[in-house]
Structure 1
Amino acid sequence: MIHANKKASCEHYPTDLKCIMNMDIADENLSWLYQWDQIRNSATPLYDLPDLASDLGVGKIFVKDESVRSTLESFKALGAPIALIRLILRRWKNQRLDPIALFKGEHAELLKNFTVVSATDGNHGRALAAAAQATGCACVIVLHANVSQEREDAIAAYGAKIIRITGNYDESVEEAARLAKSNGWDVVSDTSYEGYQDVPRDVMQGYSAIGSEVLQQAQANPDHECPFTHVFLQGGVGGLAAGIMSYMWEFMGANRPRFIVVEPQQADCLLQSAIKGHAAKATGSVDSVMAGLACGEASPIAWKFLDQGVDFFMTVSDQDAIEAMKLLAAGNKRDIPIVSGESGAAGLAGLLVLMKDQSASRLVGLDKASRILVINSEGATAPSVYGQLVGETSASVLSRQKEWLAH
């Protein structure tokens, strides 16, 4: 299903949004992150897939590969760590702590009795646990019933305390908030709710780094046509889409590309928000193979940005995502093989679905001149699941990728 957002603006980035998220803070965040030893100190790759573009009948397809952002294998490494650092800076504002020193654990003694808690589908919790371990504070992660043991083990490896519930993601968010209130802990969540917006804003602002990097890599100039005509972004609660879209919109102004948000059919909270005109809940079961996007309710603060800046909202099936994973993994002589997790392939899945439907592709404005950007938001964060879905291990795909790069 696809929905055209009649409220989307092609004017310059609104002042009210700039007061919440802006390029200056995003670039400052990125400068801090480049100093953390868990993050690569340069931009993630931007790959051109000429054969896939030719096969689909479009001009260009570019993939921004966040799977190599860090050992965490996900864009989430940009959000939770920055949110934690900024939370600490606010909490101890009179001490004027150095954010880079925090990442290096130089204030661990100060933070030893400070505890953060969050709900997660996997990647956000892993990133928060890694950042908490680095800074020296304690971390509690709440997992819902559908989070795999593999993902739990990856989070626990960073020293986080794990609490399991029998409900879904939204119920785990509620449980994290309850635990924080009863224990005096601080929630570091990527979704906002009434009275809780500062931390989710910081998480989203961390994700803006992807927009900053990709515009530099594409040598974008705000006074000229954007290097990309269309940008496909993953849905979830809306944080990633809002972070990237806001930076690109502020930089390009009226020359911004069209933004298309993609989410699972059974977790369509953003599409429903677009239809209803306010942050809303999903209509389906929420359970999806795209675990990172299996969210039942839009983040209100993210929706402020998506409501004005996203041109189209659409849904894809689990099978669509698996097809896109396999396509990225395959590669060929001119297209590099890429390891893309279930949620990571959602953007490409959206493009594939649209190109199979002539009326839908025409609605979105896709044609042989289109220059398309998709974000591979995660690698094989659950390696056994990846192998089952793709029919090849992530290690095997990476081996072929290494050979491709060598030649």
Structure 2
Amino acid sequence: MHDATALLDTLATLPLAHCSGRPATGAYPDRLKPILSLAAHAEAMTEIADWPGYAPTPLIALPGLARAAGVGAIHYKQEAGRFGLGSFKALGGAYAVLRLLKKEIARRSGQQASSRDLLEGRFRDIVGNITVACATDGNHGRSVAWGAQMFGCQCVIYIHATVSEGRRAAIARYGAEVVRTAGNYDDAVRAADAAAKENGWFIVSDTSYPGYTDVPRDVMQGYSVMVEEALRQWPEAAPPTHVFVQGGVGGFAAAVCAQMWERLGDARGRLVLVEPDKAACLYASALAGAPTAVHGDLDTLMAGLACGEVSLIAWDVLEAGAADFLTVPDSSAVTCMRLLADAPYGDTPVVAGESAVAGLAGMLMAAARPDTAAALGLGPDSRVLFFGSEGATDPALYEQLVGRSAEAVERGAA
């Protein structure tokens, strides 16, 4: 166990950068509905709810931590158990694989297919000859590999130099061929794209770029299932005042933004994006007022957020809907992983991976700084929603950082 006061005091001293966005008011704009919408969400919800093992993940109240942070309520959507894959990404990559296969079946046979059709092996003569591929920091690739295995197509996943062996093995477990490349995540994206063009594969990427938007849109729409669950589970009389979300390429944050905005309008709460300071492409884009890449090795501990280039369609949503952009150091993630695991304020212990806690780190660091707290409107009446995007997706690294295994933490929660 770690000293709770020392952990919070440490967060108060770490460097925090803040940039204000320009969020629009009023109803969710019609111009954004071709990207993400409640109408498209309804299809995603229907399909995903029919997959084996579907169940809403829990929304965990953390009243003790809320008191310590000086806010009214904290609710943490725990995605560690999603379909046994360890992260929310199970919803996105696999759903995009399904959508792609359905389109190819319709194109090649003129017939319409559903999740149930593919799960039962119909159209295997078509599906078995299709190969999907992508680049990943770990979780997206695991979802694509799982979806390919579940629906019966082939799969090749590209990982970059710093992706851990544990995450590589977790992808390979679902039958995918895993190719490690030199360089960073964006280099792996380019390698996967080149191989797909050469071999006639289909790229299932969670980031969009010029000429490639349909599949990333499906990935993001899959994530909307998680957001809808959270809204249905929300226990407070009034909706969240703040939603702190992790950055990455922006697809996760855009799904949260769009679903809450179309559901709640101006009552959707203040959306705050949080990124590692070593891979802050959304923060750089907010400063520049346009999609802006950051370069270098992007070597952040928060591996799922090690992205240097913004997803263009995600940026369209976030530029309109995000209120604030924060960057936090890697050490803040370790501190927050320990805070959730130790539960020193009497809350339920929570297993959270490195990329799951960026939002929490941003909120706790902002709340400890009076000027930043005031700028973000954080105070004793704030009701804060977090999406705990992953559990211990690399169990060995988790134990190294927290000081005990995920299983030991879960036993403490039982």
TM-score bracket, normalised by the shorter chain, equals: over 0.9
Q: Residue 274 of structure 1 aligns with which residue?
A: 286
Q: In the alignment, is residue 261 of structure 1 matched against residue 273 of structure 2?
A: yes
RMSD over aligned CA atoms reads 1.4
Structure 1 residue 285: Cα displacement: 3.9
The two structures have a TM-score, normalised by structure 1, of: 0.94
* One-letter identity of the residue aligned with 1:67: A
Distance in structure 2 (CA, Å) of the matches to 1:283 and 1:98 = 41
Q: Residue 59 of structure 2 aligns with which residue?
A: 46
Q: In the alignment, is residue 80 of structure 1 matched against residue 93 of structure 2?
A: yes
Name the SS of the counterpart of 1:83 in structure 2.
helix
Pick which of 109-118 and 232-241 moved more.
109-118
Q: Residue 163 of structure 2 aligns with which residue?
A: 147
Structure having greater relative contact order (Cα 8 Å, sep ≥ 6) = 2
Distance 1:82 1:389, change over 3 A: same
Does structure 1 conserve the Cα–Cα contact (< 8 Å) formed by 2:184 and 2:297?
Answer: no
Q: In the alignment, is residue 174 of structure 1 matched against residue 190 of structure 2?
A: yes
* One-letter identity of the residue aligned with 2:33: K
Q: Residue 374 of structure 1 aligns with which residue?
A: 386
Distance in structure 1 (CA, Å) of the matches to 2:18 and 2:254 = 19
Distance in structure 2 (CA, Å) of the matches to 1:244 and 1:282 = 23
Distance in structure 1 (CA, Å) of the matches to 2:293 and 2:135 = 18
Per-residue CA deviation, residues 329-375 of structure 1 (Å, 9 max, x unaligned), is 11257410000000011111111110121101110000000000111
Q: Residue 175 of structure 2 aligns with which residue?
A: 159
Structure 1 residue 20: Cα displacement: 2.0
Pick which of 257-266 and 100-109 moved more.
100-109
Q: Residue 355 of structure 1 aligns with which residue?
A: 367
Distance in structure 1 (CA, Å) of the matches to 2:371 and 2:120 = 53
Does structure 2 conserve the Cα–Cα contact (< 8 Å) formed by 1:21 and 1:246?
Answer: yes
Name the SS of the counterpart of 1:140 in structure 2.
strand
Distance 1:208 1:376, change over 3 A: same
Structure 1 residue 34: Cα displacement: 2.0
Pick which of 287-296 and 225-234 moved more.
225-234
Alignment of 1:105-124 (within 5 A): 105-124=121-140
Does structure 2 conserve the Cα–Cα contact (< 8 Å) formed by 1:239 and 1:302?
Answer: yes
Does structure 2 conserve the Cα–Cα contact (< 8 Å) formed by 1:144 and 1:168?
Answer: yes
Q: Residue 70 of structure 1 aligns with which residue?
A: 83
Distance in structure 1 (CA, Å) of the matches to 2:215 and 2:248 = 17
Q: In the alignment, is residue 322 of structure 1 matched against residue 334 of structure 2?
A: yes
Which residue among 395, 405, 409 is the counterpart of 1:383?
A: 395
Distance in structure 2 (CA, Å) of the matches to 1:296 and 1:335 = 35
Does structure 1 conserve the Cα–Cα contact (< 8 Å) formed by 2:50 and 2:115?
Answer: no
Distance in structure 2 (CA, Å) of the matches to 1:207 and 1:182 = 30
* One-letter identity of the residue aligned with 1:26: H
Q: In the alignment, is residue 128 of structure 1 matched against residue 140 of structure 2?
A: no
Distance in structure 2 (CA, Å) of the matches to 1:226 and 1:12 = 18
Does structure 1 conserve the Cα–Cα contact (< 8 Å) formed by 2:284 and 2:294?
Answer: yes
Distance 1:399 1:68, change over 3 A: same
Pick which of 92-101 and 260-269 moved more.
92-101
Q: Residue 219 of structure 2 aligns with which residue?
A: 203
Structure 1 residue 113: Cα displacement: 1.0
Does structure 2 conserve the Cα–Cα contact (< 8 Å) formed by 1:27 and 1:212?
Answer: no
Name the SS of the counterpart of 2:212 in structure 1.
coil
Structure 1 residue 69: Cα displacement: 1.4
* One-letter identity of the residue aligned with 2:375: L
Distance in structure 1 (CA, Å) of the matches to 2:358 and 2:42 = 26
Does structure 1 conserve the Cα–Cα contact (< 8 Å) formed by 2:276 and 2:300?
Answer: yes
Distance in structure 1 (CA, Å) of the matches to 2:346 and 2:164 = 35
Structure 1 residue 110: Cα displacement: 2.1
Percent identical residues: 46
Does structure 2 conserve the Cα–Cα contact (< 8 Å) formed by 1:226 and 1:256?
Answer: no
The two structures have a TM-score, normalised by structure 2, of: 0.93
* One-letter identity of the residue aligned with 1:198: D
Aligned pair count?
Answer: 395
Q: Residue 261 of structure 2 aligns with which residue?
A: 249
Q: Residue 14 of structure 2 aligns with which residue?
A: none
Q: Residue 405 of structure 1 aligns with which residue?
A: none
Distance in structure 2 (CA, Å) of the matches to 1:356 and 1:61 = 15
Which residue among 35, 42, 56 is the counterpart of 2:69?
A: 56
- Please, which runs of 5 or more residues in structure 1 have no aligned partner? 403-407
Structure 1 residue 216: Cα displacement: 0.9
Q: In the alignment, is residue 345 of structure 1 matched against residue 357 of structure 2?
A: yes
Distance in structure 2 (CA, Å) of the matches to 1:367 and 1:73 = 32
* One-letter identity of the residue aligned with 1:318: D
Distance in structure 2 (CA, Å) of the matches to 1:20 and 1:125 = 22
Structure 1 residue 226: Cα displacement: 4.5
Distance in structure 2 (CA, Å) of the matches to 1:360 and 1:21 = 31
Does structure 2 conserve the Cα–Cα contact (< 8 Å) formed by 1:321 and 1:342?
Answer: yes
Q: In the alignment, is residue 297 of structure 1 matched against residue 309 of structure 2?
A: yes
* One-letter identity of the residue aligned with 1:354: A
- Please, which runs of 5 or more residues in structure 2 have no aligned partner? 1-16
Per-residue CA deviation, residues 361-405 of structure 1 (Å, 9 max, x unaligned), is 110000000000111100000000000011110010111112xxx
Q: Residue 36 of structure 1 aligns with which residue?
A: 51
Does structure 1 conserve the Cα–Cα contact (< 8 Å) formed by 2:105 and 2:123?
Answer: no
* One-letter identity of the residue aligned with 1:307: E
Distance in structure 1 (CA, Å) of the matches to 2:244 and 2:250 = 13
Structure 1 residue 254: Cα displacement: 1.8
Distance in structure 1 (CA, Å) of the matches to 2:394 and 2:122 = 32
Which residue among 239, 242, 245 is the counterpart of 1:227?
A: 239
Distance in structure 2 (CA, Å) of the matches to 1:332 and 1:130 = 36
Distance in structure 2 (CA, Å) of the matches to 1:284 and 1:232 = 26
Distance in structure 2 (CA, Å) of the matches to 1:106 and 1:87 = 16
